[in-house]
Amino acid sequence: MQILAALLLDAFIGDPKRLPHPVKLVGRLIVFYESIFYMQDGGKITGAAFCASVLATVAAIIALITLAAQRAGVLVGTAVNIYLLYAALAFKSLKDESFPIKEALADCDLGSARDSLGRIVGRDTELLDEHDVIRATVETIAESYIDGIVSVLFWATAGFFFGYPAVFAWLFKAVSTMDSMVGYDNERYRNFGWAAAKLDDILNFIPARLGAVIAILGGALAGMDYRRARRIFLRDRLCHKSPNSAHGESVFAGLLGIRLGGGAFYGGEWEARPTLGDDTRSPEPCDILSAHRILNVSVALCAVLISVLI
């Protein structure tokens, strides 16, 4: 029940504020190994060695921490495992970071909404209008629902059957963090970050599809149009250069009845992307709260599924 306890803790507390977040420590580790491996060669083989080194170090550290905690006693071991699982999740923080955007838009403060959005997305936000800000926020919620919650729960549950739920969860988080730092299709990282990006695709493959189905069920329980969501999901789930990203986004687009996706500027460069969903109406600030409702019910369903499995 450690996974459910961690999920409950995250739902009420969110990211630890006063303690150094483990993701930041993983990020520093990635920077350290990149400085070693990239100096030699920025190719795919060196990138794969870099990726393997990061994962081996993370696995060793988390395993040593959990084993040491278990030796200190059952209560200490349980508490440490719950903390590590809790720190790997991004449920409440996702809502906390997106809610101010809705509030700013409700106050007709587009500038503040753009600023808040810019803290959670990689795209340029300076020129976005209100509708684009809402779409980008919902997209972020839908995407993070998969890689920040469902995938973490999936791999933690898989790790439970091997006796190391925290190790499995943090191996996934390490891959996800590497992908966000070096998994770019640009001159510097196209080859060096290839292994991290591909591994991220592999580890998110099942969770993305499972999470989409759960979100459709969650939308049905929330009284939304799950039939439209199912239709949009089956039609648009592969409309993205990533094999996984459009699964959650297409379901949210269908449940809300708005269009998501489309191109955007990243670092001043336009990146064309397909659209997801039907443009049946204009997005509204309350759609952000509706996305939160989908998120809440879907995560509750994840908890029920985990309780059945373990």
pLDDT one-digit tens code per residue, 203-229: 999 999 999 999 999 999 999 999 999
> Nearest to residue 42, comparing CAs of 196, 174, 246, 261?
196
d(CA 220, CA 51): 40
Q: Is the pLDDT of residue 269 over 90?
A: no
pLDDT tens digits along 47-56:
999 999 999 9
> Nearest to residue 79, comparing CAs of 91, 92, 68?
68
d(CA 282, CA 260): 11
Q: Nearest-5° angle of CA 59, CA 182, CA 38?
A: 85
pTM attached to this predicted model: 0.94
Hey, which residues does 95 pair with through a beta bridge?
A: none
Lowest mean pLDDT among 5-19, 63-77, 151-165: 5-19
Can you give the pLDDT at residue 19? 66
pLDDT tens digits along 132-141:
999 999 999 9
Q: Is the pLDDT of residue 63 over 80?
A: yes
Amino acid sitting at position 206: I
**Number of helical H runs and strand E runs in the chain:** 13, 4
Give 3-state DSSP helix, strand, coil % of the chain, rounded to 5. 70, 5, 25
CB 301, CB 151: distance < 8 Å: no
Can you give the pLDDT at residue 109? 95
pLDDT class of 242 with cuts at 50, 70, 90: confident
- H or E stretch including 138? helix 130-144
